[in-house]
Amino acid sequence: MTTLFELRGHLGTLAATLWNYGATFAVPTLDTYDSGEVGFSLSAELPGSASPKPAVIKLAEIWAPAGHDNFSRSEYEYDFIEHPLDRRRAFHGHDPDHFAREFRVLVHEHCEEHLGSPACDHYYGLPISGFEAIRQFASLWGQPGPLGCARLRCLS
Amino acid sequence: MQTKQFLSPADIAQELGISSATVLRMIHSGELPAILVSERIYRIPAASFEMYKAGTLRVASAAPLGRVKRRPRLAQGEVLPVAAAAARGAAVSRARR
């Protein structure tokens, strides 16, 4: 459970972590949605090669009300698209009904050694925090060699 | 000459005239942003080091509140695995016929 104030701090800390890696993006806001949920979405361009496009980290979370001034994370989308090295890694927790019905999981991952041609559409994964996602993306950023998609377990 | 995108703790130590152990202490304390590329191997983004030297590293603060928006659908464009279920169902139906 997290209060609105804590969520603002959570988002501020995620943003500061990325800014301190030299990423560029507009100041993110914690938005209220017409569903009564709150959440945010940001897309940060990382420094380094911009050919064909800069590497990007996208973070989005949706938090559902869970009692008075309390929220619990209901969905997330953490994406790392490293255009200069033509690859992608992502941790997703969205459309839980679909994934529960299809695979009896609530979250999944994506891994593309070459952008646009994944060996598997959805991989098994474990729930992950935004901070852990940034840590994992940063550990891949600019590092040569394969992402290791072959070691992941395919869902479909 | 191409600028390095990442620096090692030894690079930082040399530039600041301090020991690598001190650089590692700065990393562990959060004073210097770094990424762990593999077990016990840190790299410091060059941009982070520039900000450190300039004293422009950001301190986390509460994000501002935005306006009321329509609830977004996350991962738009991703094909949900419903089609896979339909395909499997069709295959099972064909096999039963």
Which of B32, B37, B43, B74 would you mutate first to test chain A, the one with the most A CBs within 10 A? B74
Task: Write out chain B residues lying below 8 Å of A42, CB-based.
Answer: none
Residue A149 is classified by DSSP as G
> pLDDT: is A23 or B38 the higher one?
A23
In whole angstroms, what is the distance from residue B5 CA to residue A20 CA? 14
Residue B95: what pLDDT? Answer: 59
Domain ranges for chain B, please list them: 6-54
Task: Write out chain A residues lying below 8 Å of B88, CB-based.
Answer: none
Residue B3 reports pLDDT greater than 90: no
pLDDT band at B1 (very low <50, low <70, confident <90, very high): very low
pLDDT band at B96 (very low <50, low <70, confident <90, very high): low
Residue B18 reports pLDDT greater than 90: yes
- pLDDT tens for A39-78 read 999 999 999 988 899 999 999 999 999 999 899 999 999 9
B90-96: average pLDDT: 56
A89-104: average pLDDT: 95
| Spatial CB neighbours of A100, under 8 Å, sequence gap ≥ 6 | A106
CB-CB: which of B58, B65, B67 is closest to A16? B58
- A&B contacts, CB < 8 Å: 132
Mean pLDDT, chain A, rounded, equals 96
**Is A59's Cβ below 8 Å from some Cβ in B?**
no
In whole angstroms, what is the distance from residue A151 CA to residue A9 CA? 35
Residue A109, Cα to own-chain centre: how many angstroms?
A: 10
A4-18: average pLDDT: 98
Minimal-distance CA residue of chain B relative to A27: B63
pLDDT band at B30 (very low <50, low <70, confident <90, very high): very high
- Which long-range contacts (C-beta less than 8 Å, at least 24 apart) are formed by A43-48? A44/A18, A46/A21, A46/A22, A46/A141, A47/A21, A47/A22, A47/A23, A47/B5, A47/B45, A47/B46, A47/B47, A48/A84, A48/A141, A48/A142, A48/B5
Residue A82 reports pLDDT greater than 70: yes
Residue A109 reports pLDDT greater than 70: yes
Sign (positive/negative) of CA torsion A17, A27, A88, A141?
Answer: negative
CB-CB: which of A34, A101, A156 is closest to B70? A34
Instruction: Tell me the whole-structure pTM to 2 decimals.
Output: 0.91
- pLDDT tens for B59-84 read 999 999 999 999 999 998 888 876 45
DSSP A76-144: EEEEEEEGGGTEEEEEEE--HHHHHHHHS-S-EEEEESSTT--S-S-B------HHHHHHHHHHHTT--
